[in-house]
Chain A
């Protein structure tokens, strides 16, 4: 009897295995590219989670930060675009850094993706729990740490189950949900601005051009913190550049989708942040940073109508939870296929056809992390978002560096190469590296952390080195969570390295072309099925 592989290889040649999707390319290809990019970024949830934090850092200059923070994102997206073109591996940064710099750095980049996805989960669960109670008018429960935690855990369980079983919304439903989200945010901004000009709301301000000028930001520390926060707001946007098999077949769609989704996102963030701070001032946003959109919605829309914004936040959070769990599981799958973590993480469930093992693990860890953080931190949401900025800045910067290093031989072939493959990714990576390092200084002072909670009180120093003042009196939670989780990766990597050398035998490579697909990183890599 013929062997299975031989049999399939003979009977199912290229075209059957590599799907031809010509039929599906068209108007929907572009639209769904944009929808996936914008829905992954989750504007309503991102604003709900972080608007108060941005105003806490820079006051009325929040709209300028929304624009400014987009610049590094745009530059890094260029790196995503070019790296994805030759190596569309779902390990993304993990695979690219392994190729460009080496396996150890690549492993840490992969770890960065996984923990960043993990760190955002408490914030998502918290918002989901809180806004569900608010939707039903249970305002008391919405402020009760236990019940919000309880509902948050249920949220994580349901979302994980959806990803394990492989339930998908149809493209049309997604377009509908996202359109509703954007329309509600737009109506919110318009109503708020109309009320500001027409009826002199208490504490309202008329927008001035100064709000949009980043040069007015008082200190570089505030700027770094604000950028780290705002980077979170745009997190996920890069999927508009990389994803979508349908879009890949046309030369034009990914670029156009990226530009259009950019305009939509930057537009939403600038307009909504402007309207929000015009309505009650920046101080109100900072003071209500826990449930900022809900607090505003009540005053802007009045009773009843305010629920629409809450629904938008919830639908946005559910899209964001999905676009967190799915790529986390796929990154783990990729790391497992390349033998960088145990084989089981690469298994596909034979019935559901999803990476069920990795997904379940991720959901379980997210619950442990959420419950743990709810117990020890006073400000789950705020500490998570700030810590998250470290993770995102870390692996986005790695992506930028990987692009420049991987394509180093091609950078000077044309002006276009130099600008889009070299300069933009490098500048993006440098901006993020700076925001990362500067924020370490900022958050090593617990007074700058949202809850002003102090952890690790034994860390005390006060020295001047080369004109820079290093000072710590205990550390703030965002720093410990953000940097701590990254650092935990090192011993884990070493432990894996001692027993499993194979992945670490990879040597760094460089690209010969911007178009030719890169050879497989791990030839013949296969993971078992259950």
Chain B
């Protein structure tokens, strides 16, 4: 739906602070909060289907817990947990575009910066590629 708040959520501490900000935003705009977990296994190394199943279960756990938490903070909020089979950045961009979202909210890579450098940082890529405003919530410390 137009005007949704899209939150990228992967269970990390950074994602949790982003969750709190996203809940506040969704409440203020009276918008639906879409909580997105994106995944895509490495295509090298053969068939991936039941690996994908396991990843989907993991993701469902993440977005499920996050939705419960969002509802605890704001019981009136409309929350939609989503597991998308694309790389995190693509998952967020696709969901946000599809829903004509107001803003994409993500946590900054807080815990281990070097890991972000190796793995590629989601907020960084989003800032470069997104046509929808991106809000990067700082790591809590």
Contacts and interface: CB of A to CB of B under 8 A. Distances in A.
Interface of A: 1, 4-5, 7-8, 11-12, 16-19, 21, 32, 36, 39-40, 84, 88-92, 165-168, 174, 239, 242-246, 319, 322-323, 325-327, 330, 333-334, 337, 346, 348, 350-351, 353, 355, 525-527, 529
A32 B48 CA distance: 16
Size category of the B interface is 35 or more
Contacts, number: 134
B45 A4 contact: no
Contact of A89 (B49, B63, B65, B81): B49
Given A12-B81, A350-B58, A90 B48 contact: yes
B81 A8 contact: yes
Nearest to A167: B118
Interface in B50-107: 50-51, 53-58, 60-65, 67-68, 71, 80-86
B71 A1 contact: yes
Given A40-B45, A353-B55, 5 more contacts: A84-B47, A168-B42, A243-B43, A348-B55, A353-B58
Contacts of B85: 17-19, 21
A91 B54 CA distance: 13
A88 B47 contact: yes
Contacts of B9: none
Given A5-B64, A353-B58, A326 B44 contact: yes
A322 B45 contact: yes
Nearest to A11: B80
B45 A330 contact: yes
A261 B59 CA distance: 35
8 contacts: A4-B60, A21-B85, A90-B50, A168-B44, A242-B47, A355-B51, A355-B54, A527-B54
A7 B118 contact: no
A396 B114 CA distance: 42
Given A89-B50, A167-B119, A348-B58, A8 B64 contact: yes
B43 to A, nearest CB: 6
- Classify the interface of chain A: helix, strand, loop or mixed: helix
B82 A16 contact: yes
Contacts of A17: 56, 83, 85
Given A4-B65, A17-B83, A350-B11, A334 B50 contact: yes
A8 B46 contact: no
B58 A11 contact: no
A39 B44 contact: yes
Interface core residue of B12, B39, B58, B86 (most chain A CB under 10 Å): B58
Given A4-B68, A17-B85, A330 B56 contact: no
Contacts of B65: 4
A174 B42 CA distance: 12
B48 A346 contact: no
A127 to B, nearest CB: 19
A262 to B, nearest CB: 18
B14 to A, nearest CB: 11
Contact of B44 (A21, A245, A323, A337): A323
Contacts of A90: 46-51
Nearest to B40: A19
Leading 6 A-B pairs by shortest Cβ distance: A326-B45, A19-B85, A4-B64, A327-B46, A8-B60, A90-B47
A32 B43 contact: yes
Contacts of A40: 44-46
A330 B71 contact: no
A11 B81 contact: yes
B48 A245 contact: yes
Contacts of B83: 8, 12, 16-17
A206 B115 CA distance: 54
Contacts of B86: 19, 21
B56 to A, nearest CB: 6
Given A90-B46, A327-B46, A165 B82 contact: no
B60 A242 contact: no
B43 A245 contact: yes
Nearest to A169: B44
A238 to B, nearest CB: 9
A92 B48 CA distance: 10
A326 B42 contact: yes
A124 B78 CA distance: 53
Contacts of B56: 17
Contact of B84 (A19, A326, A348): A19
Given A8-B83, A16-B82, A16-B84, A526 B118 contact: no
B50 A326 contact: no
Contacts of A16: 82-84
B122 to A, nearest CB: 13
A167 to B, nearest CB: 6
Nearest to A324: B45
Contacts of A168: 42, 44
Contact of B46 (A239, A525, A526): A239
Contact of A322 (B10, B44, B51, B67): B44
